[in-house]
Amino acid sequence: MGVPLQPEDDKSIHDEDRLLRRVPARQLVQLDGSVRPSSAVFKSEEMSVNIESLMIEQGRPLKSTLERYPQEFLTSIRAGEVRPFGLPIIKDTDPPNDPAHGLVLGKKKDRFANAMVRMHKWIVPPPD
């Protein structure tokens, strides 16, 4: 048996597509009067996201990502911000997953996680 192949990046997920990531309160960092996600939010080898364009196609508000997680917050990064790091983005919509679910695959280095912390945009921010 050979080494399993890394799935190929799904080009149907456009660079401008936002990838939505839930952030639990324990992964928030207070900094100079503001709150940001910890870099740990962006380090999972199979980083779970919801894909904005799929949610729009399904007629779902972005905030519905938090329906089963009311104590969490929601941030986003763009697919085009992920791709320069060579990490494939794939759809992972088969049940029991969310029909807008995707994954950012591969080992995430500090450089990637710190870049995502700088580029993220809150959709449902924590209170100040």
Decide if 24 contacts 15 (C-beta within 8 A).
no
Query: Does residue 78 lie in a domain region?
Result: yes
The one-letter amino acid at 122: W
List beta partners, residue 22: 74
pTM, whole model, 2 decimals?
A: 0.92
* Count of domains observed in the chain: 1
Q: Give the model confidence (pLDDT) of 5-44 as tens digits.
A: 668 999 999 999 999 999 999 999 998 888 999 999 999 9
Q: Give the model confidence (pLDDT) of 74-106 as tens digits.
A: 999 999 999 999 999 999 999 898 999 999 999
Query: Does residue 37 lie in a domain region?
Result: yes
Q: What is the mean pLDDT of residues 101-118?
A: 96
Query: Does residue 33 lie in a domain region?
Result: yes
Query: Does residue 9 lie in a domain region?
Result: no
Distance CA 32, CA 23 (A): 19
Query: Distance of CA 11 to CAs 14, 68, 75, 83, 96, Å?
Result: 6, 29, 22, 10, 24
pLDDT at site 7: 83
Query: Does residue 77 lie in a domain region?
Result: yes
Query: Does residue 4 lie in a domain region?
Result: no
Tell me the residue range of the domain where 44 lies: 18-124
Query: Does residue 108 lie in a domain region?
Result: yes
